[in-house]
Chain A
Amino acid sequence: MAGSGSAHLRPPDEVLLRVEDLVVEFPAGRGRTVRAVSGVSFDLARGETLGIVGESGCGKSSAARALVQLPPPRSGSVRLDGLELTALRGESLRRTRRRLQMIFQDPISSLNPRRRVRDIVSEGPRVWSLPGDRVDEVLEAVGLDPATAAERRPHEFSGGQCQRISIARALILDPEVVICDEPVSALDVSVQAQILGLLEDLKDRYRLTLVFIAHDLAVVKNISDRILVMYLGKVCELAPSADLIGRPAHPYTRALIASIPGGGLDLPPADKLISGEPPLPVNPPSGCRFRTRCPRADARCATEEPQIRQIGEDHWLACHNPATLE
């Protein structure tokens, strides 16, 4: 995989957020750079939930942060409703902020320990000089009792409740897109179910468009309309959720599914589908980046990077030797 290309993008007027050829780099010391995200494209229609899944180091979180321009990507385009965010700087960029909000993985670290919940949630309206009277409403919407919760500080809450506060903080600005970066990874199963249900409710209630990033394929499938699979900064496969889980074509997607105990599909055991460990992002393999772990790799995979192509209705793939779809 490790595919490039943007054939899978829909026409710009049909989508709310369009990300094209996104490249994110970080300094890796001694003058080298790591390409955390390397030419990734995707788009989101209004009201859609896009799941981005991949293992650690695949660049999913870096891509999320590049969407909100923190920090801005090295190159590529991020268009929100036609507005090119990467071209904006300073005040004009700040003015777009309330349209894109983020929820983070670590519920504790996401909240300033020295501020009260009411101050945390009302920070957005205060920054934008909006009336702060919606604090109670959003706290209720995320399932917290404003009367008891608003005057407390984060340490008095459990992880799940802290995540609710984070969600309330993001919601109060009425954002169009909410980027959820591993929002349930740090939570227990029962709390995770609560937060997933809450996100679905809020999505309907506030007509949100969600980018949902997680490493857990079952969680991503639960909430997403479409799923994008990433590996080492590249796109592997993109398809509607049921299709991706039901008919995975990319060897990496298949390995991910087979690695989950009780995955349900009739796949060979995971150790037949993937071997070894991910290469270091500093020195990615040539051609297809997955080839070093892929049982289907051949000579072409080492020389030629696969391009994203369509293999089914809204099912996109970057692989030279996809698994046969039976």
Chain B
Amino acid sequence: MTSHTQLYEIFIRSQRGLDHKHVGSLHADDAEQALQYARDVYTRRSEGVSIWAVKSSDIAASQESDCGSFYDPLDDKPYRHASHYDLPDEVKSL
């Protein structure tokens, strides 16, 4: 069975107003079945009010080998952080 099915990534919104969070993945034949299985696998304890199912193959993911070129160049640019600004007293956090 599993050989015919596709992998789906499941995202669940736990409350209205919050964003969908990735909770895991599962196998299904198509999107409708993926939604049903997501309901049965990931919302058994009332975890959600909304489900997204996305084909895993549709996700473009960065690779471990990209880390150097992606993130290292940012190490010497502290001025991009807001921490250098003097905060007005009224602002509690930034």
Same complex for A and B? Answer: no
- Which B residues contact A (CB, under 8 angstroms)? none
